[in-house]
Structure 1
Amino acid sequence: MSLKVNKTKMDGVLEITPFAFEDHRGVYVETFNKELYAEHGITVEFIQDDISVSRKNVIRGIHGDAETWKLVSCLMGEFYLVVANCDRDSANFGQWQSFTLSEANRKQILIPPKHGNGHLILSDRAMFHYKQNTYYNPKGQFTYRFDDPELNIWWPIKNPMLSMRDELGHWPEGS
């Protein structure tokens, strides 16, 4: 079994192509193997998996926190993923990189703490999957608007569908 791991232009962010087997029946993909990932230096202990399903033109994020590693993949459809350095103490604050993830390319992105991620659904529907090394804690989260001028991220859309949290760029009162 093989695993392809590539560094990106951002420190700590990795692009991973997991093992896949394809034949006349379809495709089998091993989305995580602790030993194989450790052989490639990825020793994060993941403890929670989450999935969101969204429709075309929805942007979720930019979300993150100071503690969580995330391993992001697309199980169905296609989305445009952005990872941004949101560490205000870093010389690289505001640096961002985009990736297209899909069920066809099977790529995964490893995102370190203090980095936010957001994604835009490009297909009619898409399933965003991520593993994380901490339990979800809404009180520890940060949120940036997709068009925050400090991050200056390019998105291939002008008027996306947003949640109240993403529209405001922070958690709404009382949530």
Structure 2
Amino acid sequence: MKFVTTPISGLLIIEPEVWKDERGFFIETYNQKPFSAHDISATFVQDNLSCSHRGVLRGLHAQAGENAQGKLVRVLRGRVLDVAVDIRKDSATFGQSFSLILDEYEAKSLWIPPGFLHGFLSLEDNTLFAYKVTGFYDKAGELGVRWDDPDLAIDWPMENEELIISEKDQQLPLFKEIVSPF
């Protein structure tokens, strides 16, 4: 596994080694030793899987409090634009976002520690998105910001009329309207 830093401290891209032969391929998606060597000592308590049509935008979400979540995310099938926004108040990159394409072919993962909003846009039908989280789901700790917040200026690669967004996500506040608990 190769761990690649990003412009935002704490966010790491994990590039696995892919062993291919006539049978198919093998990938080690998680191994505690290299994660610990890169100061990720997370204990994962829940695995989540979503299936999304092309144009589904999920986010931007975080979970704070006792069950604040770090996330290890990857795509099992399809392709997404994955986005993380730093909401750590004391961070030099507070309010900045980072995005990358995750797909089934390169099999990269992104480590998103607690203190980040997270969202993704499915770029293909039947995209399977998997994430391991460090905190149990807790409705009381939910936090979110609108995907189209002008202050965040995230460059989503589809026109608004192509997007499929839940009613709940359409009602989220703007970034300047929240008080970060991180």
Structure 1 length normalisation: TM-score?
0.90
CA positional deviation for 1:91: 4.1
Corresponding residue for 1:56?
54
Corresponding residue for 1:115?
116
User: 1: distance between equivalents of 2:45 and 2:141?
Assistant: 17
- Residue type at the aligned position of 1:123: E
SS of the residue corresponding to residue 146 of structure 2 reads coil
Q: Which shifted more, 69-78 or 14-23?
A: 14-23
Corresponding residue for 1:173?
none
- Root-mean-square deviation (CA, aligned residues, Å) is 1.5
User: 2: distance between equivalents of 1:150 and 1:138?
Assistant: 26
User: 2: distance between equivalents of 1:86 and 1:112?
Assistant: 11
Corresponding residue for 1:65?
63
Structure (1 or 2) with the greater helix fraction: 2
Deviations 1:126-160 (CA, angstroms, capped at 9, x unpaired): 11111111111122011111101231211111221
Identity of aligned residues (%): 38
- Residue type at the aligned position of 1:26: G
Corresponding residue for 1:9?
7
User: 1: distance between equivalents of 2:59 and 2:13?
Assistant: 19
Note the residue ranges of structure 1 that are not aligned, 5 or more in a row: 171-175
Query: Which of 147, 163, 168 in structure 2 is aligned with 1:165?
Result: 168
Structure 2 CA distance for partners of 1:122 and 1:150, relative to 1, 3 Å: same
- Residue type at the aligned position of 1:55: H
CA positional deviation for 1:65: 2.2
SS of the residue corresponding to residue 37 of structure 1 reads helix
Q: How many residues align?
A: 168
Q: Which shifted more, 30-39 or 4-13?
A: 30-39
SS of the residue corresponding to residue 166 of structure 1 reads helix
Deviations 1:102-122 (CA, angstroms, capped at 9, x unpaired): 010100000011101110111
Note the residue ranges of structure 2 that are not aligned, 5 or more in a row: 174-182
CA positional deviation for 1:88: 4.2
User: 1: distance between equivalents of 2:140 and 2:168?
Assistant: 13
